[in-house]
A and B are shown apart, each in its own frame.
Chain A
Amino acid sequence: MIPLRRRNGLSVAWLWGVCVLMGCGTSAPSNPAPPLKSHQVGGAGAPANKASDLVTASAARADDWFEDATGATGIQFTHRNGREGDRCYMIESFGGGVAAFDFDRDGPVDLFFTGGGTIDKVSGAIGGLPSALYRNRGAARFQDVSQVSSFGEPPGYSQGCAVADFDGDGFLDLFVCCYGRSRLYHNLGDGTFRDVNPWAVLPESDWHTAAVFVDIDHDQLPDLIVARYADWTPATDVACVTRGVRDLCGPTSYEGTSCRVFRNCGDGQFEDWSTRFGLRGGVHGLAVVAADLNMDGWVDVYLASDVTSNQLYLGGPDLPFVESSVVSGVAVNEWGQAEGSMGVDVADFDGDGRPDIFVTNFEMEDNALYRNLDRGQFLHSSVAAGLSGVSRQRVGFGTAMTDFDGDGRPDLFVLNGNPIYAAAQSPFLQQSQLFRNLGGRFQDVTAQGGSFFREVHSGRGNAVADLDGDGALDLVVVLMNEPVRILKNRRPAANFIQVQLTAREGESAGIGSRVSVEFAGRHITRFVVRGTGFFSQADTALTFPVAADATAAYVRVEWPGRRRETFRVGARRLQPLIEGRGKLEDE
């Protein structure tokens, strides 16, 4: 009999055993946060600890990369999953997300958090909790505008969220994924949002986990791709007992399902184009990212799936998109096995100008780094990048492959936490991790991450944005049943430029564009990507380090499938780059 390889791939035992030779409201938040409670562990870098080992309080150190600035920002919000109902419903596993976007177009990045919901202990009824919108008044000082912006009323049990200007009025709108009816909130431009419910075809009761806006039919309007996890309802809920403990079920308790694609008709309505898009079923969809991954000028979509193979849909001039994950090498792990994939980010980690993909995974699996080999081919490269083994005693959810230390190389943030309350190998509360990019290889710098990295939490959604305009990218993290945290980056580059693309020919955000700057003799390349992290949307502005004495720098923009332009951009400020206003490369 041939033993089936375990989830983490080929075990050493197999090889060498045989080879013997050798909530919110302006004043009173409706989703009130309990007092901040830190769960500190003995030392960063130590294995994830059980909750009983925890002590409280954690102090900042001089060399910390991040400082927990939550208190100073004025943000007090907690996403809740309904655990108090003691039902162990499948939807409790995944927590909530955050969107970092400038909803009022006043410059600073604002924050939106999904609220989650409640589960009644007696009846098992699922209710929604209000989401929250925080307006950035500048310098990362936030004001809760949830009530005035019409987020006072809870949607369904909310989880992920996505942002785009779906109607082209210049203001970014919001999609909130729910168990129940997901919501599309139209930004009216006056600080308020309206639930527009354009879903002639959307079931009233469905479970949407994550979503991304992307123009699939090239009509310059963002369409919507919605990830789904399972055809789950309380009536189909499976009671799982692991090692004698009633706990949340794993993904294999439910059949995979198919995601959904909705075309933006342009008249405020969306229609179901799932079939035309070419969607395949059998996924437990948790993250969906849009970027030009094979650099052919067409935006592609990558879908992270829990336990079943991840999917890559390559875009082209016409529909359908072509599912190419297997032939591109981004479907499975280094041994050919599907993993429990959660969050995704895209960045050029090895400085070759090509977008690489990073995926967070379940315990006893490596987080997957897929190196872009060109020609639309990727190679699982976690081992070569020094990331093998470092995540096996943790479950990764949120992530960011972002240059946090201003050296031009994207570093890695992994937000950890187990979805299983008690019965898994690793604990529910875990340390998150930070890795410094040394030039295609990563070094674990969790110990220097800051107080947050010395604590244990059950992390889920995350977003990256420069909240205080200092050129250093900050982190917003959503935790399970704990207040959200704002981690201020303490490692700003000596000098920087920041750009926000506005496309004229394609969808306005310029998704799929490639932007590069020269720094320290290297080409630094960034990509305009939507849907990164977990259940979340990072700010789409791009930040580059530049020479300390530079007053300006040249930025090269490759608009997806269109022109290449060079812009001269002034240092130390956010500058919009409008398609057609730069110097064309062919000129």
Chain B
Amino acid sequence: MNELRARARWQPLLGVLCGLVITCVIGTGLWLMFSPTRDQLLEQGLRESRRDPVAAERTLRRVVRLSGGRDHQAKIALCRLMVRRNALTDAKAMFAKLDLSTCRPDLLLALGRDGLKTGFRTESLAALEETARRDSRESALACDLLLADYGEWGQRQKQLDAATRLTELQPENPRSWGARVEILTTMGLEIESVEAIRAARRHGLPAEALQSLQYTLVQQLVNLGDATTARKELAELISQEGASARARGLEVYLCRLEGDLDRALEIVTTIVDEAPDLPFPRFTRGVVLLDLRRFDEAARDLERVAAAQPLDAPARFKLSEAYRGLGRDKLATKYRQQASDIVNKQKQISALLKSREENPVDPATYQTLAAVHEELGDAQAAAVWRKWADRVAHGH
């Protein structure tokens, strides 16, 4: 009786226990069947990041936790969210733990793009560089961002590297070739510039782009002193679009290279007649007249250019040469001194821009740039550099 009574007392307890076990087993099974995988959670986090950054961060942290800290996709996405909420210290700490080589290019690009807007520049550039190195859909976009950023910060070599990579990724894109050639030209790398234009021509670019590149090619060939090839290219340009002012302008310099000064003078005079108030053709005519030792006429043209362009050092130097030829030594000295003062300031600016390229976040460089431009009388440029000084001082 007692035994029966004891069994009856335990029976409901066992039932509950069994029920619990069964529930647990079923629950676990259901959880295993229906709970999101780490990848799904990552995707969920990425989706959430657009609408609900807080939830996204929670989800992504969960992914990181679940992976034992090894999910670099989640980490870079998390890093991006931190950047977006301006938690840059946390973002930097997270970025430092990232293995960029394992990150998805879309995530790298997204971090790079957002980071550039918020003062997370160094890390963003690293992400974009990594993207650019890949052969992914995002690589060209990364190159575009790099091109723009390095251009803004005056880092020419890096800008050139980005442009070069862009032409590798998109050889049929005229804009990428245009950018590469322009940077090479600015850097004074004429031979490389000519090689780039010749490479561009092999990729079936649109006619308009090809023509623009051909103008640059003629310019660079003139700079390189290759009169024969420049003449051939220019003839082709003129046959295609006629003797435009730009083509004639180039021809003046080509004629100088060929030593045909009479022809140079004839051509440049037609341009001056068409646009008598433009300083550049008049300057060129002054130069040619000086070549011809027609000092008086040269001085007349160059006086007008110097008056119109207060910061034009070459015009002043050429004017001083014309006055020297005329034996008017006082005027020659005056303009030579003016030219020299401008050139000295320009050298200072050039040196400062180089320092900026090496250390773009030093506000002192920008302040000095503003000051030198002010001394030069270029208030507009001074204002621009002052803004940069502020921007850098505030970490942007």
Which positions in A face B, CB cutoff 8 Å?
1-13, 15-16, 18-22, 47, 326-327, 329, 335-337, 364, 366, 373, 375, 377, 379-381, 383-386, 388-393, 425, 441
Contact residues, B238-271 vs A (CB, 8 A): 244-246, 248-250, 253, 256-259, 261, 271
Interchain residue pairs with CB less than 8 A apart (18)? A2-B378, A2-B381, A4-B343, A9-B314, A19-B280, A21-B274, A327-B332, A329-B321, A335-B318, A336-B336, A379-B325, A381-B291, A383-B256, A384-B292, A384-B293, A391-B225, A392-B224, A393-B224
A357 → chain B closest CB, angstroms: 16
Q: Is the CB of A375 within 8 A of B246?
A: no
Q: Is the CB of A4 within 8 A of B275?
A: no
Judged by a CB distance under 8 angstroms, whether B219 is at the interface is yes
Docked CA distance A127–B321 (Å) = 47
- Which residues of the partner chain B approach A326 to less than 8 Å between Cβ atoms? 336
Residue of B nearest to A426 (CB): B191
Judged by a CB distance under 8 angstroms, whether B311 is at the interface is yes
Stretch at the interface among B24-32, B49-57, B91-99, B182-190: B182-190
Q: Is the CB of A373 within 8 A of B325?
A: yes
Q: Is the CB of B245 within 8 A of A19?
A: yes
Docked CA distance A459–B248 (Å) = 38
B274 → chain A closest CB, angstroms: 7
Docked CA distance A452–B376 (Å) = 51
Q: Is the CB of B321 within 8 A of A19?
A: no
Docked CA distance A3–B313 (Å) = 11
Q: Is the CB of A10 within 8 A of B314?
A: yes
- Which residues of the partner chain B approach A384 to less than 8 Å between Cβ atoms? 259, 261, 291-293
Docked CA distance A7–B342 (Å) = 16
Q: What mask results when residues 263 to 307 of chain B are scored 1 for a CB within 8 Å of chain A, else 0? A: 000000001001100101101100000111100000000000000
Q: Most B CB atoms within 10 A — which of A5, A364, A383?
A: A383
- Which residues of the partner chain A approach B290 to less than 8 Å between Cβ atoms? 379
Q: Is the CB of B314 within 8 A of A18?
A: no
Q: Is the CB of B259 within 8 A of A20?
A: no
A244 → chain B closest CB, angstroms: 11
Residue of A nearest to B264 (CB): A383
Docked CA distance A16–B245 (Å) = 9
Report, as a range, how many residues of chain B touch the other chain: 35 or more
B232 → chain A closest CB, angstroms: 15
Residue of A nearest to B260 (CB): A386
Judged by a CB distance under 8 angstroms, whether B118 is at the interface is no
Q: Given A2-B378, A390-B225, are A16 and B246 neighbors across the interface (CB < 8 Å)?
A: yes
Identify which of A11, A336, A366, A381 contacts B343 (C-beta below 8 A).
A336
- Which residues of the partner chain A approach B321 to less than 8 Å between Cβ atoms? 329, 379-380
Judged by a CB distance under 8 angstroms, whether B44 is at the interface is no
Residue of A nearest to B382 (CB): A1
A411 → chain B closest CB, angstroms: 16
Judged by a CB distance under 8 angstroms, whether B170 is at the interface is no
- Which residues of the partner chain A approach B362 to less than 8 Å between Cβ atoms? none
Docked CA distance A4–B321 (Å) = 20
Judged by a CB distance under 8 angstroms, whether B36 is at the interface is no
Q: Is the CB of B219 within 8 A of A4?
A: no
Q: What mask results when residues 96 to 130 of chain B are scored 1 for a CB within 8 Å of chain A, else 0? A: 00000000000000000000000000000000000
B275 → chain A closest CB, angstroms: 6
Sample of 18 more A-B contacts, CB < 8 Å, known A364-B190, A383-B256: A1-B349, A1-B373, A2-B346, A4-B349, A5-B314, A19-B281, A22-B244, A22-B246, A22-B271, A22-B275, A335-B318, A336-B314, A336-B317, A377-B325, A379-B324, A388-B225, A390-B225, A392-B223
Q: Is the CB of B225 within 8 A of A393?
A: yes
Docked CA distance A392–B275 (Å) = 32
A253 → chain B closest CB, angstroms: 14
Q: Given A16-B249, A384-B259, A425-B191, are A21 and B317 neighbors across the interface (CB < 8 Å)?
A: no
Q: What mask results when residues 348 to 387 of chain B are scored 1 for a CB within 8 Å of chain A, else 0? A: 0110000000000000000000000100101001001000
Residue of A nearest to B249 (CB): A16
Q: Is the CB of B224 within 8 A of A2?
A: no
Judged by a CB distance under 8 angstroms, whether B339 is at the interface is yes
Judged by a CB distance under 8 angstroms, whether B395 is at the interface is no
Q: Is the CB of B274 within 8 A of A22?
A: yes
Q: Is the CB of A335 within 8 A of B314?
A: yes
Judged by a CB distance under 8 angstroms, whether B137 is at the interface is no
- Which residues of the partner chain A approach B65 to less than 8 Å between Cβ atoms? none
A587 → chain B closest CB, angstroms: 35
Docked CA distance A2–B313 (Å) = 10
Q: Is the CB of A383 within 8 A of B349?
A: no
Identify which of A8, A13, A336 contacts B185 (C-beta below 8 A).
A13
Judged by a CB distance under 8 angstroms, whether B90 is at the interface is no
Judged by a CB distance under 8 angstroms, whether B79 is at the interface is no
B304 → chain A closest CB, angstroms: 15
Judged by a CB distance under 8 angstroms, whether B327 is at the interface is yes
Identify which of B188, B244, B274 contacts A364 (C-beta below 8 A).
B188
Residue of A nearest to B219 (CB): A12
Q: Is the CB of A2 within 8 A of B281?
A: no
Residue of B nearest to A5 (CB): B314
A328 → chain B closest CB, angstroms: 9
Q: Given A2-B378, A19-B281, A22-B271, are A392 and B225 neighbors across the interface (CB < 8 Å)?
A: yes
- Which residues of the partner chain B approach A381 to less than 8 Å between Cβ atoms? 291
Identify which of B280, B324, B350 contacts A15 (C-beta below 8 A).
B280
- Which residues of the partner chain B approach A3 to less than 8 Å between Cβ atoms? 186
Docked CA distance A329–B320 (Å) = 10
Judged by a CB distance under 8 angstroms, whether B329 is at the interface is yes
- Which residues of the partner chain A approach B222 to less than 8 Å between Cβ atoms? 12, 389
Q: Is the CB of A2 within 8 A of B376?
A: yes
- Which residues of the partner chain B approach A337 to less than 8 Å between Cβ atoms? 343
Q: Is the CB of A12 within 8 A of B347?
A: no
- Which residues of the partner chain B approach A16 to less than 8 Å between Cβ atoms? 219, 246, 249-250, 280
Closest CB pairs A-B (n = 4): A22-B245, A389-B225, A336-B317, A386-B259
Q: Is the CB of A1 within 8 A of B381?
A: yes
Judged by a CB distance under 8 angstroms, whether B226 is at the interface is yes
B189 → chain A closest CB, angstroms: 7
Q: Is the CB of A4 within 8 A of B256?
A: no
Docked CA distance A11–B314 (Å) = 11
Identify which of B185, B275, B340, B373 contacts A21 (C-beta below 8 A).
B275
Q: Most A CB atoms within 10 A — which of B245, B253, B259?
A: B259
Contact residues, B216-231 vs A (CB, 8 A): 216, 219, 222-227
Contact residues, B324-346 vs A (CB, 8 A): 324-325, 327, 329, 332-333, 336, 339-340, 342-343, 346
Docked CA distance A504–B212 (Å) = 67
Docked CA distance A401–B245 (Å) = 39
Q: What mask results when residues 150 to 176 of chain B are scored 1 for a CB within 8 Å of chain A, else 0? A: 000000000000000000000000000
Docked CA distance A336–B340 (Å) = 8
- Which residues of the partner chain A approach B343 to less than 8 Å between Cβ atoms? 4, 336-337
A397 → chain B closest CB, angstroms: 18
Q: Is the CB of A383 within 8 A of B225?
A: no
Q: Is the CB of A5 within 8 A of B313?
A: yes
Q: Given A20-B246, A22-B244, A329-B324, are A47 and B314 neighbors across the interface (CB < 8 Å)?
A: no
Residue of A nearest to B253 (CB): A12
Identify which of A11, A19, A379, A383 contacts B259 (C-beta below 8 A).
A383
